[in-house]
Structure 1
Amino acid sequence: MKVAIFGGTFNPIHIGHLIMAQYVKNFSEVDRVIFVPNGVPPHKNVDIALPEDRFEMVKLSIEDNPDFEISDFEIKNKEPSWTINTLNYFATSYEKVYFILGSDNLFEIIKWYRAEEILKKFPIIVLPRERNTTLIRRQIEELGIQFSAKMVLIDMPIIDISSTEIRRLIRENKSIRYMVHPKVEEYIIRKGLYKE
């Protein structure tokens, strides 16, 4: 089975994440997209909901889609969530492992822990975060030359929703309807998440 690993803080998961994952499933050769919420994200220090809450919100968002699944690999791991460790873990169980990367991270990935190994070992599905893809395509080409990286850019609409914006709206007691799965909205309200 060919899988694509979709890692992230998912703080909270929103409709944009789900649309991106569905585009990956629709327009690549992957059989399944595996969501992997971070336990201890190494690159972020924002106000983050508990790992268990973020895991549950992802689970609620994807439970009705047979092409999606969730893994608690990073949440169970008490160490920082280094991408290479996660990808190597899944590589032991699946025929082929792809890594989903937002184009905003495409220009930062070479600074990541064991970046060269990621780029040489795992094919990467790049999702555009901006409409003009000229620089993105150039960076994909450069990484291909420098590291023999196998990367493909999925042509999809820009989904301009962010978890940061959702958290801001919640703090301001404004609706997040249609921005997150209805079950996630209910969960956030019930648990009182992101109020402070």
Structure 2
Amino acid sequence: MCAAEAPPRVAMLGGTFDPVHVGHLRSAIELREALALDRVHMVPARVPPHRATPGVDAEQRATMLALGIADTPGLYVDDREIRREGPSYSTATLASLREELGTQARLVMALGYDAYLHLAEWHEPARLFELAHVVVVDRPDHQQPLPAALETLIEGREVASVDTLMQSPAGGLLHLSLPTRMAISATAIRARLQRGESVRYLLPDAVERYLLARRLYR
């Protein structure tokens, strides 16, 4: 297969983005570079199944995400979970993407290490690997023994390189360390806003203007 006919490489990066901050966006850019992705779909959850429902509605969170991404190449706001009723299960989102992209596309679900530890508790966890690869963005200072159910789920799936991962459309597991580590959390940003403190340089300027004008998180 020549380069012009190579299957697309696409990642799904889900979350509440409550609100989106520069750490989210920097990670998305570096994920795209590390995996040589054609695009990263940033998918705001309407009803996150594994955490409390966000205080800001999904449409506003998606608007802030769009403002944050702006014209960044390769990053896209994907609102399919907002348009879908019920819990925002990753299996449903990946199945929808797989149907659009075709059987040979290299589809990746990226998630952080904390979420990875609970992967075996997700809805239809084995099906995640039928639909996509799983890429774990590691935190070097945060490693711990894996739960037994997770060990069973990932048995025989881990690969050591991007090249090996991308030899097949789905089914692999790769641990990835990104070059820029930002100790920024949406929880801390919300707390600062509630206290009336500055969030300058933690958020894209357009996102900061949007949420301050609407007094979100106050």
TM-score (norm 1): 0.90
Superposed CA offset, 1:70-116 (max 9, x none) = 11100111211001000000011122211011111111000100011
Larger Rg: 1 or 2?
2
Q: Is the 2:13–2:43 contact (alpha carbons within 8 Å) kept by the matching residues of 1?
A: yes
% of aligned pairs identical?
29
Q: Which amino acid in 2 is paired with 1:187?
A: Y
Query: How many angstroms apart in 1 are the aligned matches of 2:15 and 2:45?
Result: 6
Report the more deviating stretch, 79-88 or 119-128. Answer: 119-128
What secondary structure is seen at the aligned counterpart in 2 of 1:92?
A: helix
2:172 pairs with 137, 144, 150, which one? 150
Contact kept, 8 Å, 2:107 with 2:131, in 1: the verdict is: no
Report if the CA contact (8 A) 1:5-1:100 is conserved: yes
Return the match for 2:141 from 104, 117, 131: 131
**Count of paired positions:** 193
Show the counterpart of 2:35. 28
Instruction: Please state whether the residue corresponding to 2:200 is helix, strand or coil.
Output: coil
Distance 1:107 1:52 in 2: 29
Q: CA deviation at 1:29?
A: 3.0
Other-structure match for 2:108? 98
The amino acid across from 1:154 in the alignment is L
Q: Which runs of 5+ in 1 are unaligned?
A: none
Instruction: Pick which of 172-181 and 126-135 moved more.
Output: 126-135
If the length of structure 2 is used for normalisation, what is the TM-score? 0.81
Q: Which amino acid aligns with 1:22?
A: I
Gaps of 5+ in 2: 1-7, 159-170
Moved over 4 A (4+): 132-136, 139-143, 146-149
Q: Residue in 2 aligned with 1:64?
A: 71
Q: Partner amino acid for 2:109?
A: F
Aligned equivalent of 1:53: 60
Corresponding residue to 1:160 among 155, 169, 183: 183
Structure 1 distance, partners of 2:28, 2:110, is: 9
Give the C-alpha shift of residue 159 in structure 1.
Answer: 2.1
- 1:130, CA displacement in angstroms? 4.4
User: Equivalent residue of 1:177, what SS?
Assistant: coil
